[in-house]
Structure 1
Amino acid sequence: MLRAKFSRLAIAAGLSLGAASLAIPVNAATYLNGSATANFDVTLTIVANCIIAATPLNFGSVQGVLSTAVNVNTTVNVTCTNTTPYNVGLNAGNGTGSSGTTRFMSGTGSNTGTVAFSLFQAAGTTLWGNTQGTNTLGGIGNGSAQPLTVYGQVPAQATPAPDAYKSTITATVYF
């Protein structure tokens, strides 16, 4: 009986040691026979890209007639990859009669009247259009949003019928 107990203990101890030796990770061992190396590249390709966002330009409400100019501004934000050159263009809009840098807001009610307006790159100076190299505004990306101010003006003009007037402008970033 003592012999059977001793044999069981020996077997249990042997199994414990075997299990313990199996739990040692292979990569934790130390080898002294030599070594070999290999190199590998880590790569990333960054492609030039830009995004653009615009906020509305609201000339507000005018009571009476358009006898004096109404000036307001808004912001177009351009975010381009660092060192990426870009141009921002503003199209003529969708107001009746709009073309190039000549822009009109159309009545949204039943009237067919229009209100002329202009968009400038600087207050009252360079008209902002959509022809690269002629009337777009350029810059160089820095990886962060770059705000560009759009200056709007409704000049004094013959006042059309009372209504809400609107034009939708498309801002485009070329890169």
Structure 2
Amino acid sequence: MFTINKNRVICATLAAAMLASGAPVMAATATGTLVVTATVLASCTVVGSTIAFGNYTSSQVDQTGNIAVLCTNGTSYTIGLDAGAGTGATTSVRKLTGSLGGNLNYALYRDSGRTNNWGSTIGTDTQAGTGNGLIQNLTVYGRIASAQTPLAGVYTDTVTVTLTY
């Protein structure tokens, strides 16, 4: 009798194991969404270099400088240059001021032929562009006209670069 019960227990155990392993496990699923957002703000920075004309001997002197612009990709901008700090200066006739007095007239242009004045009136004499997320270098073309008779000395001016976007 012990053998019959033992066989029954073994058969019942095997049957239970087969049923448990062969039966598919029923699982339920549900779905939802996860909203992900980001905002990219338009931003720009600008840095101007030095335009060093060197020695002036009453002959025309041409020199260039650089404006580095960094704007968010797709951001439209304009670059304007003011008249500078020289007394009586305009955006057409800027004035370097001498360390011992006097002025030395000069001009800044947007093109290498030095025909397009670089001023500060948007849509008239500024430089427009569109940012690409990388540094963009713009050349400033400077000229000191010939036949001026300034006092001896070191001449300087500071022009403000305005980036509008």
TM-score if structure 1 supplies the norm length? Answer: 0.75
> Does residue 53 in structure 1 map to residue 47 in structure 2?
yes
**Runs of 5+ consecutive residues of structure 2 not aligned to the other structure:** 1-24
Query: 1:79: how far off?
Result: 1.2
1:122 has 2:111 as partner: yes
How is 1:16-55 mapped onto 2 (pairs within 5 angstroms)? Answer: 32-55=26-49
Identity within the alignment, %: 36
Partner of 1:83: 74
Deviations 1:113-153 (A, max 9, x none): 00000000012110000110110011111111111000000
Question: Which residue does the alignment assign to 2:64?
Answer: 73
Given residue 104 of structure 2, which amino acid in structure 1 is its aligned partner?
V
C-alpha separation in 1, matches of 2:158 and 2:96? 8
Pair 1:98-2:89 in alignment: yes
Residue among 126, 129, 151 paired with 1:136: 126
**Which ranges in structure 1 are unaligned for 5 or more consecutive residues?**
1-30
The residue that corresponds to 1:21 in the other structure is none
Q: What is the letter of the counterpart of residue 141 of structure 1?
A: G
CA offsets 1:34-89 (integer angstroms, 9 cap, x no match): 23232121111111111111110000123xx31x2100001101111111111110
TM-score, normalised with respect to structure 2? 0.79
Runs in 1 of length 4+ with deviation above 2 angstroms? 35-38
Q: Which residue of 2 aligns with 1:26?
A: none
Structure with larger Rg: 2
Paired residue type of 2:137? P
Distance in 2 between the 1:131 and 1:74 partners? 20
Length, aligned pairs only = 140
Q: CA deviation at 1:112?
A: 2.3
How far 1:161 moved relative to its partner?
Answer: 1.3
